[in-house]
Amino acid sequence: MKLLTFSVGGRRRTGVVVDGTAVDLRAAYEALRAEAGLPPAAPLAGALFPDDLVDVIAAWDAVGPAVLDCLAFLPKTAAELRRFDEAEQAAGRPRVAFSLDEVTFAPPLVRPGKVLGIGLNYKDHAAETGRPLPKAPMFFNKFATSLVGHEGNIVHPGPAVTSQLDFEAELAVVIGRPAKNVSEAEALDCVFGYTIMNDVSARDLQYMDGQFVKGKALDTFGPMGPWIVPARDEHGRPALDPQNLSVTLRLDGQVMQNGHTGQMIFSVAELIAYLSRLMTLLPGDVIMTGTPAGVGVARDPQVFLEPGDVVEIEIEGIGVLRNRVVGS
């Protein structure tokens, strides 16, 4: 399953991807009820499927079964979905399905409560920076204003702000239930799913005075997406092993980072357990789990992002997050 947030015609929707097609879950639920001969459920559908996956995740015990009902009801191929959609519109009901090239991707989580980044969490990345392995996770913040969706723009703020704009491919973990003082054994049970993030970093700001967040939390410095893959599939089985995924970043088609989550110093379970001792993690919170070697600042010669560059991050089992760098 792939859950996403997208907009068409200026209206934001939560949806699911079916055979390369974005399905509006609210409209799909209305179609399901119509097929069953039930009256329209616009208020109920809106409550079940609000326009931010943060709210969907928080109510997943109620929403999850409705999502599965919709998936069971809907056609399974893009061609069948198009025909189904035409019939829905002919019946005076809203569109259900949209091709991915006609939607605007929002970050899957538009208003997460917390976005926590982890520094130096890959052995090879720590080695390329010449720093010792951390004894405990190093963390910093990004904010909701940092987020941008798949195919959205990373805005270079210009040389007056930074001349060292860098990239970092990261597996991002989405929390699914409140977590406080959880053990490592319990930690993965708190995960709703996984997505991709680019920890865009202004290195000169980051290293200016040791305040990492200064170089990490600028507007558009947190590309996220294109969707969230739930940690468990429709049958309740683990969908991904977060410690066994390849992570690749391409800059204008050239591979810059080619890592593996098995290189993490602190596993996903360790990160959740550690952070939950310090703060309560809530549904929709995000943990960026660090980046492998190959970042621009550690290269010789160094490589920094410039307007016109295209950055693609691919993580096994999730997909590809693509963003273009533009001038401010």
Alpha-helical runs (H) found in the chain: 25-35, 42-48, 53-58, 60-73, 78-90, 123-129, 184-187, 203-206, 212-216, 268-278
- State yes or no: pLDDT of 42 exceeds 70: no
Summarize the confidence of residues 59-72 as an average pLDDT: 93
Residues of the chain with CATH 2.30.30: 3-105
- pTM to 2 decimals? 0.96
Alpha-helical runs (H) found in 74-143: 78-90, 123-129
**Residue 294: HSE in the Cβ half-sphere, 13 Å Cα cutoff:** 19
pLDDT at residue 35, as a whole number: 87
Give yes or no for a contact between 26 and 46, defined as CB atoms under 8 angstroms apart: yes
Residues of the chain with CATH 3.90.850.10: 115-327
Whose structure tokens read 């999730």? 318
What's the CATH class of domain 115-327? alpha beta
Summarize the confidence of residues 102-130 as an average pLDDT: 95
CATH of domain 3-105: 2.30.30
DSSP conformation letters of 224-286: EEEEEEESB-TTS-B---TTS-EEEEEETTEEEEEEEGGGBSS-HHHHHHHHHHHS-B-TT-E
pLDDT at residue 314, as a whole number: 98
Give yes or no for a contact between 224 and 196, defined as CB atoms under 8 angstroms apart: yes
How does residue 49 score in pLDDT terms, banded at 50, 70 and 90? confident
Write out pLDDT tens, residues 193-227: 999 999 999 999 998 987 889 999 999 999 999 99
| Separation CA 97–CA 126 (nearest Å) | 45
- State yes or no: pLDDT of 44 exceeds 80: no
Write out pLDDT tens, residues 3-23: 999 999 999 999 999 999 999
Q: State the chain's mean pLDDT as an integer.
A: 95
Write out pLDDT tens, residues 265-323: 999 999 999 999 999 999 999 999 999 999 999 999 999 999 999 999 999 999 999 99
Summarize the confidence of residues 152-174 as an average pLDDT: 97
pLDDT at residue 249, as a whole number: 98
